[in-house]
Structure 1
Amino acid sequence: MKSLAGPIIGAIAFALIGLQPCGAAEPEPKDGGTIVMATTAQVQGFDALTTRSANRETTMAGGLVFSNFFTRNDKGDRVPDLGTALDSSPDGLTWTLKLRPGLKFSNGAPYTAHDVANHFQRILNPSRNQMFAAATGSLKEAVAIDDTTVEFRLAYPWAAFPSIFLIDNFLIWVMPTEHEKTAGPDLNRRPIGAGPYMMTEWKQDDSITFEKNPNYWNPKAQHLDKIVIRFLPDPTARFTALKTGDIDIFYEPLGKQVVAARGDKGLKVVEYVGTGASTVNINTSVPPFDDVRVRQALAHALDRNIELKVGFDGVGTLATSFWGANSEWHCPDVGYPEYNPEKAKALLQEYGKPVKIVLQVQPTAIMSIPAQLYQSFWQKVGIETEIRSIQGGPSYINPVLRGDYQLAMWEVADVPDPDFQVYQAFFSKSGGNITRIKDPVLDQAIETGRRSLDVDVRKKAYCDFSKEMALQMPILLRMQSNYFAITLPRVHNIPLMRRGLVRLNEAWVDPR
């Protein structure tokens, strides 16, 4: 058996810019107290077969309730949590997960390999919601060998498979088998997990509260008595609530608020730069976007430096591929279209038809201000743009998933393996190809990156992918993934914000 007990194979190199005093050591953790984090969106639920796509707020809440099989330290090394070992057969077709003995769910029921296997088989059921089944890649089945051993059997070697067990995600949110079978539609709002906290109150449109799981395997890691995720969509209101002490963590501040907080000794800024990027998805299956010249014209017409300055207050880095300079998958000089309005006009003239488009955005400053800039840039080259504002959540997500859109602001997630970023979203036969792109060069690169276990072969494949994306333009790239949280000084030990997530269960606070 091939063990992955050491550093994560193919892990992406990330950069953390800690904006606390250089050399300042964290004091010893204190137990007790409550932490309140305000967010722009609401938690959607906890059942992979009910919720089609999980936003970050949902993922952070799920991490509290369900925990991980493994976590990662600052160096990217794997750290046991609910799991103690994950081993591969020599051919990469079988993976064996060992669970920590004696685990219990928050309701006191034993947490066993049978629950884990049942959970994965439920996701794989072809008669159910397949959005998350698609993320299981080549997984054929999960089988409980005994109470602490699960065997995962793959149809073909899949390099990204072990990454599933390292990140907070729906695929590993295991509930008691009987609860999954009997809760019905309520399952989405009645989570029972084996994580450090359990949900005790859910006030729709207001907040969701978590308290210590009395059956968690590691009570020494449960520093906080209570955690509250509060829905407060207006970023100005979130900043005010932070400065008045009504909340402890301001999640997803605007660029100008980050700049202001950096100069405020009464606040701390946590920043994380990861792979992934904010994007504009293009539905390539509908006119005029079924013509690559129009898609290229859209890109050449945009002055992204102006967007960085005006839309993001100069905070962040422009993206030219999913994988920035800090990533081992980074491919320089992919040929992403530069700002060139004259070339955009020439491409549109060659296309020869009027171009009227609809851009879908959310009514947030981070989308609405750039959208207005885009509208202005495109108007200058002869493209008429309607901005359609839709509230975040299922109303925004579902039209994109079913292909009922033209352009939509979106995001390529920050995850530990590029396969999760490209296969489902851009492989022509994935079932989750939301841009509807069908390109043999992309397909070949994606397949090679998925199936090869050779890191060098994968790097070349994803470089080929990046270059072809810059030609075909099924998406417009905006900013490299740059995540921020602003906290009060009483908040300590916010770990690396991988995927933009604040792992609140690892934090602790000074008493008020």
Structure 2
Amino acid sequence: MKPFQLLRAARITAFSAAAVAVFLGTATISHAAPIPNKTLVYCSEGSPAGFDPAQYTTGVDFTANTFTVFNRLVEFARGSTNVEPGLAEKWDISPDGKTYTFHLRHGVKFQTTAYFKPTREFNADDVVFTFERMLDPNQAFAKAYPATFPYITDMGLDKLIKRVDKVDPYTVRFELNDVSAPFLQNMAMEFASIQSAEYADQLLKQGKAAEINQKPVGTGPFIFRSYQKDATIRFDGNPDYWKPDAVKLSKLIFSITTDASVRTQKLKRGECEVMVYPKPADLASLKADSNIDLASQAGFNLGYLAYNVQHKPLGNVDVRRALDMAINKPAIVESVYQGAGQLATNPMPPTQWSYDKNLKAASYDPDKAKALLAKAGFPNGFELTLWAMPVQRPYNPNARLMAEMIQSDWAKIGVKARIVTYEWGEYMKRAHAGEHDAVLVGWTGDNGDPDNWLGTLLGCEAVNGNNFSKWCYKPFDDLIQKGRATTDRDQRTKYYREAQQIFADQLPFSPIAHSTVYQPTTKNVVDMKIDPLGYSRFDGVSMK
């Protein structure tokens, strides 16, 4: 992967002798042909917690909002981690690497809905509003609708971004406090989806600021129409979308179906054209169905078990090592992933640059685990809660079975685990709050940069966010900060490999597996791509 590849045909250096100008695309917005009268039904796996991308961190939410309703200044090309122009058609980077100037695309329209009719086109005011709301708690909208923004804090962007200024109606300048190698990659992420400042003003005047999370308005390929929790989400194709010919569906319907076997049956019966996360046990029947295509690729993901180090006795590294050693991970990979997973040893997948292939995990050894537990002062074990996700994720096809197998393994060393679960939104909310002892979670990479794994999942700034281990270890965190502050990939790799060695020694979580990702569709679906970042995107998708 090339996380700093800004162009397919050009490279830039952030530290050139003069400011670097990167020209990407043109300002002309042409009009696409009329949207074909086609409806696609997508069997999704769960209900989104809301429709404001800045507030969430899961694929369930992002598929339902980020890649339907919204755009960002820069975006990931469909099916890759390469950055391409979005609402910014070009950008400049100052010689010291601390100032990014984005030149905005002209002629982009916000969506017209039953609850909002824009009077102007997208401009710099929308960009400034989007980021000020996340960065300034005293901003009027942020005060009217207080919300948490886990990504911008987990990645330290709230401290990195010094200010966001409107230079003119179509130019925005970001000033950073420090050099940040993954900054452009981060700006392509979901939290950076651009909101309408005009819509926010309308909500503020109506005293309905919270509706920004229930009735979204963006510039994206699909217009939100309605949402019935645990049932359906309905979208219309956006006839004014700024990317000509990218919208090829007049209707997009999410049929929320939490049971993977039911999703499979719906696909076979033609009740949906695309489904997500088939059970490994269903793959053979899907492959055998002449009406179904089953694309697959190695997943850019990790399923893991996080130990809350703020809960006794999990703050003791020997306890964590004992728990890890007691888990029969090869048996889990065989039973849970059923041939569609690979044993994990690192806090990132092997396809991520800077992955330390020499890192060794402890072998399954319950006798040594029991002895280590006795050494730590728990010869008779202890009790703890073990949280299991209620939904399938790309990194874990069956969290309940995994939890039951871990529960059985731990019982052999005297540790009694009580399995806990909640509805998905509640599960994530409580896990972020640190209510768990041990929690099954996972991650699919967001942007192709190592910081998105090591910083977002294990950094000190992420303790109240996606660092479910609540682990803040200065020697590790110092390496993460150094990795962000240089653009030299060799030096960054050195820092990140050192960090992985510290992780392996301290074990704030137990890596379990990387899974293969499958994308079943009916044969009348055209150009549905598997996204390496773990989402389902329908821009560019058509039907025969």
TM-score, normalization by structure 1: 0.89
Mapped to 1, the partners of 2:228 and 2:165 lie a distance apart of 38
Asked if 1:65 is matched to 2:99, the reply is: no
**Alignment-derived partner of residue 24 in structure 1:** none
State the Cα deviation string for residues 5-36 of structure 1 (Å, max 9, x = none).
347989xxxxxxxxxxxxxxxxxxx9431111
**Alignment-derived partner of residue 443 in structure 2:** 412
Aligned partner letter, 1:239: T
Asked if 1:195 is matched to 2:220, the reply is: yes
Mapped to 2, the partners of 1:122 and 1:68 lie a distance apart of 16
Mapped to 2, the partners of 1:214 and 1:165 lie a distance apart of 26
Mapped to 1, the partners of 2:401 and 2:98 lie a distance apart of 48
State the Cα deviation string for residues 337-393 of structure 1 (Å, max 9, x = none).
221222211211211223211101123561001111101111112211111122211
Asked if 1:133 is matched to 2:167, the reply is: no
Within 5 Å, give how 1:465-504 maps onto structure 2: 465-504=499-538
Asked if 1:267 is matched to 2:270, the reply is: no
Q: Structure 2 unaligned runs (5+)? A: 13-34, 113-117, 139-145, 392-396
The percentage of aligned residue pairs carrying the same residue is 24
- The count of corresponding residues between Structure 1 and Structure 2 is 487
**Alignment-derived partner of residue 78 in structure 1:** 83
Aligned partner letter, 2:264: F
Give the Å deviation of 1:39.
1.5
Within 5 Å, give how 1:25-174 maps onto structure 2: 31-47=36-52, 51=55, 53-62=56-65, 63-69=67-73, 70-72=75-77, 76-107=81-112, 108=118, 109-126=120-137, 128=146, 129-134=148-153, 135=155, 136=157, 138-167=160-189, 169-174=190-195
Within 5 Å, give how 1:384-403 maps onto structure 2: 384-393=416-425, 395-403=426-434
Give the Å deviation of 1:458.
0.9
TM-score, normalization by structure 2: 0.84
Mapped to 2, the partners of 1:381 and 1:125 lie a distance apart of 49
Aligned partner letter, 2:102: L
For the residue of structure 2 that corresponds to 1:385, the secondary structure is strand
State the Cα deviation string for residues 175-205 of structure 1 (Å, max 9, x = none).
2344255241111111111111101121222
Mapped to 1, the partners of 2:78 and 2:169 lie a distance apart of 28
**Alignment-derived partner of residue 385 in structure 2:** 358
**Alignment-derived partner of residue 246 in structure 1:** 271
For the residue of structure 2 that corresponds to 1:221, the secondary structure is coil
For the residue of structure 1 that corresponds to 2:131, the secondary structure is helix
**Alignment-derived partner of residue 27 in structure 1:** none
For the residue of structure 2 that corresponds to 1:278, the secondary structure is strand
Give the Å deviation of 1:54.
3.4
Distance 1:304 1:93, change over 3 A: same
For the residue of structure 2 that corresponds to 1:357, the secondary structure is strand
For the residue of structure 2 that corresponds to 1:504, the secondary structure is coil
Mapped to 1, the partners of 2:510 and 2:414 lie a distance apart of 18
**Alignment-derived partner of residue 22 in structure 2:** none
Mapped to 2, the partners of 1:32 and 1:165 lie a distance apart of 34
Mapped to 2, the partners of 1:335 and 1:190 lie a distance apart of 48
Give the Å deviation of 1:481.
4.8
Give the Å deviation of 1:456.
0.8
Mapped to 2, the partners of 1:334 and 1:469 lie a distance apart of 10
**Alignment-derived partner of residue 141 in structure 2:** none
Distance 1:326 1:362, change over 3 A: closer
For the residue of structure 1 that corresponds to 2:68, the secondary structure is helix
State the Cα deviation string for residues 29-58 of structure 1 (Å, max 9, x = none).
x94311111112112222256x4x332122
Contact 2:6–2:82 (CA<8 Å) still a contact in 1?
Answer: no
Give the Å deviation of 1:429.
4.4
Mapped to 2, the partners of 1:359 and 1:9 lie a distance apart of 47
